[in-house]
């Protein structure tokens, strides 16, 4: 069975299909046009790995925080695919998926930030300990004056492979993180 990963919390569409060590992911900057491209890109990925939608056994969704409409697109599409094909659904923080590829085991914490409206940021700070994500500061809204002075990742898109790698630590089901 394949695992579909999907995040639309940011201006980027992060979409992937993974099974064991094989798989493929795409990150495409779409602004506010996720719904226009999502299913055609998914069909392309299915073709590249030689799979059918019926072979999707798990769906890992980025649960935000992020754009209200953006979050709804991933949730609606992902839940619809899961319901149609009997797949399990899991949720992962979009901020964690953005910084996971950059976290070094035992290294310093990193703060992932997504630009929000009105000069605010959505941010969370994570570290990697014993191969697991450690939440140093949970997702929150920050003003520019509240930003840490080091270890920042600004507007890095959630990584489709990171969503897959974080599946063992994901919550079953998905509850969007609206801040």
In a domain, 17, yes or no: yes
Q: Is 119 exposed, middle or buried (0-12, 13-18, 19+ CB in 10 A)?
A: exposed
Q: What is the pLDDT of residues 72-108, one digit of tens each?
A: 999 999 999 999 999 999 999 999 999 999 999 999 9
Assigned domain for 177 exists:
no
pLDDT digits (tens, 9 = 90+) for 16-41: 999 999 999 999 999 888 888 999 99
Q: Are 142 and 154 in contact (CB under 8 A)?
A: no
* Range(s) of the domain holding residue 40: 2-172
Peptide bond into 128 cis (omega under 30): no
Indicate the pTM of the whole model: 0.95
Q: Which pLDDT does position 94 carry in this prediction?
A: 98
How far is Cα 9 from Cα 13, in angstroms, rounded to an integer?
8
Q: How far apart are CA 126 and CA 148, in angstroms?
A: 13
Number of domains, the chain: 1
Say if residues 164 and 16 touch (Cβ distance below 8 Å): yes
């Amino acid at each position: 069975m394949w695992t579909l990963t999907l995040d639309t919390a940011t201006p980027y569409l992060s979409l992937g299909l993974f099974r064991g060590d094989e798989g493929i992911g795409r990150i495409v900057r779409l602004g506010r046009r996720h719904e226009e491209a999502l299913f055609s890109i998914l069909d392309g990925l299915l073709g590249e790995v030689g799979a059918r939608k019926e072979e999707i056994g798990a769906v890992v969704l980025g649960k935000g925080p992020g754009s209200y409409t953006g979050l709804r697109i991933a949730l609606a599409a992902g839940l619809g695919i899961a319901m149609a094909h009997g797949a399990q659904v899991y949720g992962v923080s979009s901020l964690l998926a953005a910084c996971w590829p950059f976290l070094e085991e035992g290294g310093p914490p990193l703060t992932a930030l997504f630009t929000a409206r009105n000069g605010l940021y959505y941010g969370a700070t994570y570290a990697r300990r014993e191969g697991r994500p450690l939440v140093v500061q949970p997702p929150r809204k920050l003003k520019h004056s509240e930003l840490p002075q080091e270890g920042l990742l600004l507007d890095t898109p959630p990584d489709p492979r990171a969503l897959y790698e974080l599946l063992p630590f994901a919550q079953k089901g998905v509850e969007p993180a609206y801040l």
